[in-house]
Amino acid sequence: GDSVTQMEGPVTLSEEAFLTINCTYTATGYPSLFWYVQYPGEGLQLLLKATKADDKGSNKGFEATYRKETTSFHLEKGSVQVSDSAVYFCALSARDNYGQNFVFGPGTRLSVLP
């Protein structure tokens, strides 16, 4: 079945450091790819998405490129802030005759220190 693998956390960075969180996937067909963020005590918020190969999703300084050849969707940010501390989930959505649904990775906890 479909699956998503993320780099294990926690990831601890200093403010203004460069961030990369790796994500690879296994899926039949051509899934859409997403990054969600979860702050403590809250639900998931969509951070960015890409729906086809070579698409780049971007939001709030974060970006990720849909790489079909490497089945990857790595999340990057050039300069992290303390407020970026959260858990980040990579997810895929594959559409079939019944609609679409999401398969999530295990999440990567990011802590940014001032």
Partner 1 sequence: DAGVTQSPTHLIKTRGQQVTLRCSPKSGHDTVSWYQQALGQGPQFIFQYYEEEERQRGNFPDRFSGHQFPNYSSELNVNALLLGDSALYLCASSTRATQPQHFGDGTRLSIL
Q: What's the CA gap between 7 and 108, in Å, rounded?
A: 7
* Residue 40 in contact with partner 1, rule: CB under 8 A: no
Our CA angle for 11, 114, 49, nearest 5°, is 50
Q: For residues 80 and 107, which CB has a smaller minimum distance to partner 1 in the complex? A: 107
**29 CA to centre of own chain:** 19
Cα dihedral 78, 9, 114, 35 sign: positive
Q: State which of positions 84-113 bind partner 1 (CB under 8 A).
A: 89, 91, 93, 95, 98-107
Among 32, 74, 84, 92, binds partner 1 (CB under 8 A): 32
Q: For residues 36 and 66, which CB has a smaller minimum distance to partner 1 in the complex? A: 36
- Indicate the DSSP class of residue 75: E
* Residue 49 in contact with partner 1, rule: CB under 8 A: yes
- Indicate the DSSP class of residue 78: S
Among 25, 34, 62, 73, binds partner 1 (CB under 8 A): 34
Binding stretches for partner 1 (CB under 8 A): 4, 32, 34, 36, 41-46, 49, 51, 89, 91, 93, 95, 98-107
